[in-house]
């Protein structure tokens, strides 16, 4: 099982919150659109990535859980973080 | 002294005038009755790949749609958004029944009762030929499916699979961010087989003559023949049938040869690559469109015009494509107007690195790949452009066919 971040480029409107919340895996290009590191996330960063996805105003940023074989099993909508910190 | 004699042309799809049902049957013969399974087996054995540009194995697509076991739809794709290509409309105009044969066979194989024929709105002769052919079959009681003709907008992306499906569902002809893929849920939420019309015509020939026959032309990896649209500085521009793997020079010779010394060839349409010699073209001709650029044309101006066209033809949905292609086109236009290449080289390098792979479809990837190929092959011309004052070759009319952009592409 691995978790990856993906952006739907049609839905994305360059609000840029994701890069602020998750600079470890997202930088903005010169037009404000996110360049997302789509490699499997290390465990300790999954929660941060989840928060970034939850904050996306257009729900363009999604966490995706893949099986061990890399086969996509389901698309997760990021839940709201339980604690706000 | 060597004398180059072009090989005799193979004529399969282009075997003869076959616009009427009578001519079609006398040129190509009766269509044998065969089961859907037998057809998929034959197509798999033949090794047929899609002729719309992506070269996806046709049998795998047929399998995927057939496996759903739900009532499917077949979409015959002649949206032909590529300005360098005319093969699909020409094929429909000259051999509409061959395409209908393939569509009917494919429909049986994937459990479809409906065929939608999508024809670029400007391809009037193709439309008329298909309309006549459908009516002829209807009258003869030889149309086992519902056949519907749909005119598609003359935009670059209208033929992209997801854009076509979206258009047929009542939306704009713009790509979607897949999944679901059309074979899972496409037109009217039914499993949908989208095939280029040449691919369907090849299926009709495979059904008649078998996989072995099909493989008797072409290479083991790319078997069969393909239609090729030749344009630019060639004596007789037009659509030719060639054996895959045969030297591109043969096709050019068949078209009467070049009209003047050639600087480079654009192989595979506007998403294709530049080569300096036909021998470098390899067997993969993409969607089968080749343009000959003469030495008298300015490669910088030609490249800038295509880049501007591709930027205009972005569906306008994805930020990196809209902004990235616009920026790249602007930089190339400035060089074409005389600005030094060094002034934009770093920007171009950065944009070429960050734009590909970030759109919902492959439009930004194809456009950037074209620009990269041009910058590599024409490195000298880009570096020198504007150095000696005004470029004398820039005044020449465009060799590459740049259409006026359609209003639909620009609509939000």
Q: Do A8 and B177 touch (CB under 8 A)?
A: yes
Closest CA to B315 of B410, B187, B203: B410
CA B37 to chain centre: 28
CB atoms under 10 Å from CB of B298, counted, come to 23
Cβ within 8 Å, pair B323-A11: no
Distance between CA atoms of residues B295 and B258, nearest Å: 11
Q: What's CA A66's distance to the chain center, in Å? A: 14
- Percentage of chain A surpassing pLDDT 70? 78
State the Cα–Cα distance between residues B20 and B132, nearest whole angstrom: 8
CA distances from B84 to B69, B75, B209, B308, B408 (A): 38, 22, 31, 16, 20
User: Chain B: nearest CA to A47, how far in angstroms?
Assistant: 24
Spatial distance between the Cα atoms of B299 and B305, rounded to a whole number of angstroms: 10
Q: Of A44-53, A55-64, B71-80, B172-181, which range is least confident?
A: B172-181
Chain A neighbors of B177, CB-CB under 8 A: 8-11
Residue B167 belongs to what H/E stretch? Answer: helix B161-168
Asked if the Cβ–Cβ distance from B177 to A10 is below 8 Å, we say: yes
Determine which of B179, B346, B350, B358 to mutate to test the interface with A (most A C-beta atoms within 10 Å).
Answer: B358
CA B375/CA B273 separation, integer angstroms: 11
How far apart are alpha carbons A33 and A19 in whole angstroms? 9
B177–A9 CB contact, under 8 Å: yes
The torsion angles phi and psi of B147, rounded to 5 degrees, stand at -110, 130
Mutation site for A-interface testing, chosen from B319, B321, B349, B356 by largest number of A Cβ within 10 Å: B319
pLDDT at B405: 60
> How far is the CA of B219 from the CAs of B48, B244, B247, B342, in angstroms?
11, 6, 12, 44
pLDDT at A70: 46
Tokens 């021998």 -> residue: B279
Handedness of CA B397, B398, B401, B402 (dihedral sign): negative
CA distances from B351 to B211, B327, B345, B365 (A): 45, 8, 10, 11
CA B59, B239, B8, B284 dihedral sign is: negative
Residue B163 vs residues A32, B159, B220, B312, B412: alpha-carbon distances, Å: 26, 7, 32, 17, 15
pLDDT of residue B2: 47
- 3-state SS assignment for residue B132: helix
pLDDT, residue B278, reads 83
Supply the pLDDT for residue A77: 45
Which residues of chain A from 2 to 41 reach within 8 Å of chain B, CB to CB?
8-14, 29, 31-33, 35
H/E run at residue B368: helix B363-377
Closest CA to A22 of A40, A48, A2, A60: A48
Can you tell me the distance from the alpha carbon of B82 to that of B76, in angstroms, rounded to the nearest whole number? 16
Reading chain B (412 residues) residue by residue, the pLDDT tens digits are 445 554 557 899 999 889 999 999 999 999 999 999 999 999 999 999 999 988 899 999 999 999 998 999 999 999 999 999 999 999 999 999 999 999 999 999 999 999 999 999 999 999 999 999 999 999 999 999 999 999 999 999 999 999 999 999 999 999 999 778 899 999 999 999 999 999 999 999 999 999 999 999 999 999 999 999 999 999 999 999 999 988 899 899 999 999 999 999 999 999 999 999 888 776 667 779 999 999 999 999 999 999 999 999 999 999 999 999 999 999 999 999 999 999 999 999 999 999 999 999 999 999 999 999 999 999 999 999 988 778 889 988 999 999 876 444 444 3
| pLDDT exceeds cutoff 90 at A61 | yes
Which among B317, B323, B354 is the nearest to A10, CB-wise? B317
CA distances from B51 to B63, B85, B271, B385, B407 (A): 18, 12, 15, 37, 28
Rounded distance, CA B350 to CA B263, Å?
Answer: 28
Backbone angles phi, psi at B393, to 5 degrees: -80, -20
CB B243 within 8 A of CB B90: no
Shortest distance, CA B214 to any CA of chain A (angstroms): 35
Q: Are B295 and B262 in contact (CB under 8 A)?
A: yes
Hey, what are B122's tokens? 């400007």
| β strands within chain A, DSSP E | 2-7, 26-28, 34-36, 61-66, 72-76
- Read off φ and ψ for residue B79, nearest 5 degrees: -70, -30
Report CB contact under 8 Å: B354, A10: no
Distances (CA, A) of B253 to B106, B235, B259, B276, B346: 35, 9, 11, 17, 41
The CA-based dihedral angle spanning residues B272, B96, B149, B206, taken in that order and rounded to the nearest 10 degrees: -70
User: Which has more confidence, B395 or A60?
Assistant: A60
State how far residue A31 is from chain B, nearest Cα, in angstroms.
7
CA B45 centroid distance within chain: 24
Question: What's the confidence (pLDDT) of residue A68?
Answer: 54
**CA-based torsion, B108, B109, B112, B115: positive or negative:** negative
**B181 and B8 in contact (C-beta within 8 Å)?**
no
Contacting residues of B for A15, CB less than 8 Å apart = none
User: Per-residue pLDDT for A66 more than 90?
Assistant: no
Q: Given this model, what pLDDT does residue B412 score?
A: 36
**Torsion angle defined by CA atoms of residues B279, B7, B42 and B82, in that order, rounded to the nearest 10 degrees:** 50
- Contact yes or no for B358 and A33 at CB 8 A: yes
């Amino acid at each position: 099982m691995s978790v990856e971040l993906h952006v739907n480029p049609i839905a994305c409107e360059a609000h840029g919150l994701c890069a602020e919340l998750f600079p470890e895996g997202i930088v903005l290009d010169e037009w404000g659109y996110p360049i997302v590191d789509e490699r499997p996330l290390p465990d300790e960063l999954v929660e941060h990535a989840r928060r970034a996805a939850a904050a996306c105003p257009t729900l363009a940023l999604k966490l995706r859980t893949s099986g061990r074989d890399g086969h996509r099993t389901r698309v997760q909508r990021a839940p709201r973080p339980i604690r706000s910190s | 002294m060597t004398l180059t004699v072009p090989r005799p042309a193979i004529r399969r799809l282009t075997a003869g005038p076959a616009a009427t049902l009578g001519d079609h049957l006398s040129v190509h013969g009766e269509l044998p009755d065969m089961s859907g399974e037998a057809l998929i087996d034959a197509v798999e054995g033949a090794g047929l790949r899609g002729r719309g540009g992506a070269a996806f194995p046709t049998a795998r697509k047929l399998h995927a749609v057939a496996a759903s076991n739900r009532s499917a739809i077949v979409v015959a794709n002649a949206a032909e958004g590529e300005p360098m290509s005319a093969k699909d409309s020409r094929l429909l105009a000259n051999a509409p029944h061959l395409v209908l044969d393939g569509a009917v066979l494919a429909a049986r194989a994937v459990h479809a009762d409906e065929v939608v024929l999508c024809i670029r709105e400007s391809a009037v002769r193709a439309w008329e030929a298909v309309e006549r052919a459908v009516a002829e079959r209807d009258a003869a009681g030889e149309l086992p499916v519902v056949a519907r003709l749909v005119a598609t907008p003359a935009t670059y992306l209208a033929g992209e699979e997801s854009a076509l499906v979206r258009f047929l569902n009542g939306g704009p002809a713009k790509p979607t961010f897949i999944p679901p893929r059309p074979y899972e849920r496409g037109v009217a939420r039914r499993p949908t087989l989208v095939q280029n019309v040449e691919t369907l015509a090849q299926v009709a020939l495979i059904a008649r003559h078998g996989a072995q026959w099909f493989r008797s032309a072409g290479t083991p990896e790319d078997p069969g023949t393909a239609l090729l649209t030749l344009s630019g500085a060639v004596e007789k521009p037009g659509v030719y049938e060639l054996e895959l793997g045969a030297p591109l020079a043969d096709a050019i010779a068949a078209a009467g040869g070049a009209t003047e010394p050639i600087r480079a060839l654009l192989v595979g349409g506007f998403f294709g690559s530049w080569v300096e010699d036909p021998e470098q073209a390899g067997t993969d001709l993409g969607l089968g469109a080749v343009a000959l650029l003469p030495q008298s044309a300015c490669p910088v101006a030609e490249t800038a015009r295509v880049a501007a066209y591709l930027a205009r033809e972005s569906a306008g949905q994805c930020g990196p494509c809209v902004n990235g292609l616009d920026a790249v086109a602007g930089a190339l236009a400035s060089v074409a107007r005389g600005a030094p290449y060094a002034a934009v080289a770093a920007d171009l390098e950065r944009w070429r690195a960050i734009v590909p792979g970030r759109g919902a479809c492959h439009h930004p990837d194809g456009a950037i790949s074209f620009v990269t190929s041009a910058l590599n092959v024409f490195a000298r011309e880009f570096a020198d452009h504007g150095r000696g004052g005004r470029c004398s070759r820039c005044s020449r009319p465009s060799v590459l066919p740049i259409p006026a952009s359609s209003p639909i592409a620009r609509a939000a």
